[in-house]
Structure 1
Amino acid sequence: MAQPLTDDVVAVRPRRASDLPAIEAASHDPETLRWLDDTPMDAADRGTSLARTEEAWRTGRAAPLVVADATTDEPVGIINLQFRDDAVATVAYSVFPAHRGRGIAPRAVRLLAGWALGELRLTQLLLEAAEANTASVRVAEKCGFERVGSRVETRAEGPHTLLVFACTKV
């Protein structure tokens, strides 16, 4: 990604060392932990985070990015493309607690989808959202993703239904 993707409200850009404190703090948020199966970031994770991010880019496995305020460049969330193959990727995102409810996630997903389906020439983006996570389901729908299925995941707290959405055009 040569330049940040922006709509003048949010920007989607590569992660930086200065983003890590905000990413670490958000990783401990109970609402974030409710929906994501990632473990909270600790000091060891923080120390290797940028190296793991660079490795994901270099190997073509993923494009871990940050969502920032377009004016202040303050990190307000994270967004990630995980490549399944040369044509398909999964998009995942999280908006930091203090910034939720402001339409940040749909803006970031639209920017990322435009880049992925345009410049990267992917043919399909997938987005999985917990059925009970109405905010993420709304983001998928607002961004033009269509529901294509569901799957059940077993977690410590019991079965967890994930809705699968797909997008092939912006």
Structure 2
Amino acid sequence: MARSTSIEPPARRLTDGTVALRLRRASDLGAIAAASHDPETRRWLDDEPMDEEARRTSLARADEAWRNGRGAPLVIADAVTDEPVGIINLQFRSDDVATVAYNVFPENRGRGIAPMAVQLLAAWALSDLRVKRLILEASDGNTASIRVAEKCHFQYVGTRTETPEDGEQQHTTVVFALEGLNSALG
């Protein structure tokens, strides 16, 4: 589901001095595509690795997500060099409920980038976009993403266990939520 209206990109630069969130550019696509093939990324994300067709249409699909209110795809960039270090996306379930999804590129992991980016995105979504509830979901084995949720003051909601139709192993997802402006986002 999407918002009932389009989403306007941030009116101000979203940065904490270390990372910045910005719109995707053609020059980011090589790094995004390379990260989509990373084994650790593949371990946690359901998205298929970016092939040439996906790379060719990536910017148009990102623009469409903003236009139709479905999502707000952004790049996590180094605040000084503006080089892409990851991606982050706000995906809307309704006008006032959205999920947060992110991926820090392999060479930038372990530097605290994900919590900084999630805090910037959450502050913007809760204030400027008037989102009432942000949801962050992580596989129960993804301790790094669970720590990000906790560092960003998301509250544990529960778990959801799914059994794939193909009979493969069950998958448990841990669900966290951040409500309104009652969090310590700064």
Please give the TM-score of this superposition, normalised by the length of structure 1.
0.97
In structure 1, C-alpha distance between the alignment counterparts of 2:68 and 2:162, rounded to whole Å: 28
Which deviations, in whole Å up to 9, do the C-alpha atoms of 1:77-128 show, x marking residues without a partner? 0000001111110001010000000000000000000000011111110000
Equivalent residue, structure 2, for 1:160: 171
Could you tell me which runs of 5 or more consecutive residues in structure 2 were left unpaired when the two chains were aligned. Answer: 1-9
Residue in 2 aligned with 1:116?
125
Aligned to 1:129: 138
Decide whether the 8 Å contact of 1:3 with 1:13 is kept in 2: no
Q: Superposition pairs for residues 46-65 of structure 1, below 5 Å?
A: 46-65=55-74
Could you tell me how far apart the structure 2 residues matched to 1:126 and 1:132 are?
Answer: 18
Q: How many residues align?
A: 170
User: Could you say what the CA RMSD is over the residues aligned between the two structures, in angstroms?
Assistant: 1.0
Structure with greater strand percent:
1
Please tell me whether residue 5 in structure 1 is matched to residue 14 in structure 2: yes
Find the residue that maps to 1:66 and give its secondary structure.
strand
Per the TM alignment, residue 154 of structure 1 is displaced from its structure 2 partner at its CA by 3.3
- TM-score normalised over the length of structure 2: 0.89
Runs of 4+ with >6 A deviation: none
1:166, distance to aligned residue in structure 2 (A) = 0.2
Does the CA contact (< 8 Å) of 1:147 and 1:166 recur in 2?
Answer: yes
Shift of 1:73: 0.4
Distance in 2 of aligned mates of 1:31 and 1:151:
22
Closer/same/farther in 2, CA of residues 159 and 121 from structure 1, 3 Å limit: same
- Cα distance between partner residues in 1 of 2:163 and 2:85: 30
- How many angstroms does 1:62 deviate by? 0.4
Residue correspondence of structure 1 range 26-45 to structure 2 within 5 A: 26-45=35-54
Alignment partners' CA distance in 2, 1:158 and 1:15: 35
Looking at structure 1, the residues matched to 84 and 162 of structure 2 have their Cα atoms a distance apart, in angstroms, of: 30
Output the amino acid matched with 2:110: G
Counterparts of 1:67 and 1:56, CA distance in 2: 17
Matched residue SS, 1:158: coil
Which ranges in structure 1 are unaligned for 5 or more consecutive residues?
none
- CA shift for structure 1 position 48: 0.3
1:65-144 alignment, distance < 5 Å = 65-144=74-153
The secondary structure found in structure 1 opposite 2:170 is strand
Q: Which amino acid aligns with 1:113?
A: A
Does the 8 A contact of 1:26 with 1:32 survive in 2? yes
